[in-house]
Amino acid sequence: MAINAIGPVGAFGSGYEQWRTSLLHPTTTAQQANFRNLAIPDSGFPACRVTTEDLNRFISRKEIRRLDHFSRLALLGACLASSVHDQIPGGRRCGLILATAYGATATTFSFLDTMINDGDAMASPTLFSNSVHNAAAAHIARHLKISGPNLSLSQPSPLLLPMALQCAANWLEEGRVDQVLCGVVDEYCEVYGYCWQCLQKTNCGFTTAPGRVAPSLSLGEGSLFLLLSRPEKTTARFGFLEKIAMNPKSIPDDIMLVGTRISRGLPDQEGPPLHRLIDLNLGALCGDFPAIDAFALAATATILAENTLPDKLETGFKTSAGNPPGLIGCWQPWEHDPRKQLTGNLYWVTNRPE
């Protein structure tokens, strides 16, 4: 699939230019002041929040006044991905896929609060309408005039992103659509933050080997949309997604790997050597949240498009010319498997069509 446009929204800002600058030159990362402490017993908890003021560039305040934060995140990412391509997506030949791990959690819990406090008869209808799992996708389709296939995926699983991308590939291969606007969105909510804090305190699920990157201690939120199409041309702005492999049996020795939390899924005695791993530590850029895997894929495409590597990498892999090769692997681990197997998703992004 050709990756024609990227629409990133995170604590670094919104839009490709802010994303590119924050990724390739980490010293200029903005909005670190967006970390705020929650009123949770014992201690505060850092959360990397996102503002959606830039949405007013595309849609009037009046039209979106009833949209919740989750829908605004999704709509802003979709608008950004749609605005930077020469062929604006829309109509029946454009599909839409929105993937999320937990959906509009803040809205859902707020709706439940109105039911608990005021009873069924006084529950907020606005909160209820925005808590429906496909509400955000409906808002995107309405504002961008997309009338093709529309799918919302909700699954807190490492399979979320590959499922969304594989569905987009199927639609394109079957000829159902000419373009697919595929995005991943997740928002922060205080219940999620409380659970994350408890997990960090008990140290459950994280085993960091010596010399490897520890998991981020700040939660985040954001959205990332990709505008995909069939690889009919010889060039694409952000390269081509050549292959999606889940739990690959092996990884070629000469491929450079990019990702975040990459050391978690790599056994100590098997798999690629550490000098080929580029851990972008995106948690420091936009916080840690389920949609971070989509940002890792976007970072891979960005590195390929800009033909340069981020500054000040702790570990890296460069060709003799100092530039990335024409084929980059995006490695997204599930967990460290004690059976010493490669457990994760591998995406191959290339600057050459198949």
Percent of the chain with pLDDT over 70: 74
The H or E element spanning position 294 is helix 292-306
Helices (H), 28-68: none
Q: What is the spatial distance between Cα 312 and Cα 314, in angstroms, rounded to a whole number?
A: 6
Of 312 and 297, the structure prediction assigns the larger pLDDT to 297
> What DSSP character marks residue 215?
P
- What pLDDT is stored for residue 149 in this prediction? 95
Asked whether the predicted pLDDT for residue 137 surpasses 80, the reply is yes
Domains, the chain, in order of start with CATH, read 2-350 (3.40.47.10)
Burial 126-148 (b: 16+ CB within 10 A, else e): ebbebbeeebbbbbbbebbebeb
Asked whether the predicted pLDDT for residue 269 surpasses 50, the reply is no
- Measured N-to-C along each axis, helices 292-306 and 16-24 cross at an angle, to the nearest 10 degrees, of 80
- pLDDT tens, residue by residue, 104-123: 888 888 888 888 888 888 88
- pLDDT tens, residue by residue, 307-323: 877 765 544 444 434 45
Output the pTM of the full model.
0.84
Helices (H), 176-291: 190-202, 283-286
> What DSSP character marks residue 60?
-
> What DSSP character marks residue 301?
H
Of 353 and 265, the structure prediction assigns the larger pLDDT to 353
- pLDDT tens, residue by residue, 28-69: 333 333 334 444 444 456 677 888 999 999 998 888 888 999
Asked whether the predicted pLDDT for residue 232 surpasses 60, the reply is yes
- What pLDDT is stored for residue 110 in this prediction? 86
Q: Look up residue 79 and give its two tokens.
A: 């608008």
- What pLDDT is stored for residue 205 in this prediction? 45
- What pLDDT is stored for residue 309 in this prediction? 74
> What amino acid occupies position 126?
T
Number of H helices, E strands in the chain: 9, 13
Greatest mean pLDDT among 50-64, 84-98, 329-343: 50-64
User: How many C-beta atoms surround the C-beta of residue 156 within 10 A?
Assistant: 12
Backbone φ and ψ of 180, nearest 5°: -135, 125
Q: What average pLDDT does the chain have?
A: 78
Mean pLDDT along residues 343-350: 86
Asked whether the predicted pLDDT for residue 185 surpasses 90, the reply is yes
CA 276 to chain centre: 23
Percent of the chain with pLDDT over 90: 32
Contact 70, 138 (CB under 8 A): no
- What pLDDT is stored for residue 119 in this prediction? 83
